[in-house]
Amino acid sequence: MKQTQALTLKTTVFSVVSAIFASSPALADEAPPPVAAKPPPYSLAWNLRPVAPGNVVRSDTAVGMFSDAGTGGSTVASTFLASYKVTPTLAPLLRIAVVHNDPAMGESATAVSNPLLGAIWAPPGLSAPFKAGVFAAVAIPLGSGGGNDGDPVMVSTNRSAMAARSNMDNALFAVNDLTPILGADVAYVANGLTVQVEATVLELIRVRGAEKQPDAYKTNFTSGIHAGYFVMPWLSLGAELRYQRYLSTPSFVAADASGASRDTMTAAGGVRGHIQLGAGRFVRPGISYARGLDDPFSGRSYQVVQLDVPVAF
């Protein structure tokens, strides 16, 4: 009998305490916060920009292989980038490249590119599944081989570097030109699929080397489309089509009766891993293969293997 009374008393006390805790506004407000939805995975492009600002360090090496008059040559163009978000929508960045050219004929050489200073800004108001980014930058003419005393071997090396980068990074290697750049990217990102389009205008303004470079101004346009899909959470496949064109008519374009020097088109495809390092850090190594689709690339059997290692934090 005493045991039954004790059990009844315990049950009553527990019920009263539970009712007090459940009815307390202060405690009711302390419910655990909802877990934020994980953003859909984004497929990082090869030669296009990231569509959104981020904290990133990136090493990206393109190895261009070609044939001139039946003799093979190669160019290794490695770019290095660092960006950091100063606000959730704005990330300044610094980019520079180192190039080694081993031509089919002539001397080998190593050169350093112009430094590029810029920023990526994510305009507000765009909702999922779409992302957008605006890019503004300037390339400063400090690279190797510039000026009236520029070494012809270095000049050839810089031209080869442009080709190795599919002519998408011409401002880095236009070592006589101060180059303001403005571009934009828009991407659809949902269900493991990324489709991104990009367009950029570069205005190359000669500030040195007038005796070697006849063109005071050149207007260059680059564009591309990237499609990527996650076949596994840690692995994506990506394909890219890139197009570059001179909107003005530089002297070398005017002198080319074939018209092949005005524009180029390349295509690429590859795989990329997505590895979490912990605490919001990721490494996304990837390898791709590209070919030129028209002259002057196709006539030289031009092909590129690209190794890209970005680390986000």
Residue 2 lies in a domain: no
Strand, coil or helix: 194: strand
Q: How far apart are the first and last CA of the chain?
A: 66
Return the HEC string of 235-298.
Answer: EEEEEEEEEEEECCCCHHHHCCCCCCCCEEEEEEEEEEECEEEECCEEECCEEEEEEECCCCCH
How many structural domains comprise the chain?
1
Residue 26 lies in a domain: no
Residue 96 lies in a domain: yes
pLDDT score of 204: 98
Token pair 């929508």 is at which residue? 89
Tokens of 264: 């180029």
Residue 178 lies in a domain: yes
Residue 15 lies in a domain: no
CA distance 18 to 28: 12
Tokens of 121: 């800004």
Bridge partners (DSSP) of residue 221 are 201, 245
Going residue by residue through the chain (313 aa), what tens digit of pLDDT does each one get?
444 444 444 454 445 445 444 444 444 455 555 555 567 799 999 999 999 999 999 999 999 999 998 899 999 999 999 999 999 999 999 999 999 999 999 999 999 999 999 999 999 988 999 999 999 999 999 999 999 998 999 999 999 999 999 999 999 999 999 999 999 999 999 999 999 999 999 999 999 999 999 999 999 999 999 999 999 999 999 999 999 999 999 999 999 999 999 999 999 999 999 999 988 899 999 999 999 999 999 999 999 999 999 999 9
Residue 175 belongs to domain with CATH number: 2.40.160.40
CA distance 98 to 143: 10
**Residue-number span of the structural domain to which 40 is assigned:** 32-312
Residue 103 lies in a domain: yes
Among the listed residues 189, 200, 261, the one whose alpha carbon sits nearest the alpha carbon of residue 226? 189
Amino acid in position 252: F
pLDDT score of 278: 86
Residue 232 lies in a domain: yes
With vertex at residue 262, the alpha carbon angle to CA 260 and CA 268, rounded to the nearest 5 degrees, is: 75
pLDDT score of 125: 87
CA distance 161 to 139: 15
CA dihedral of 103, 220, 212, 97, whole degrees rounded to 10? -50
Residue 262 lies in a domain: yes
Tokens of 10: 């315990």
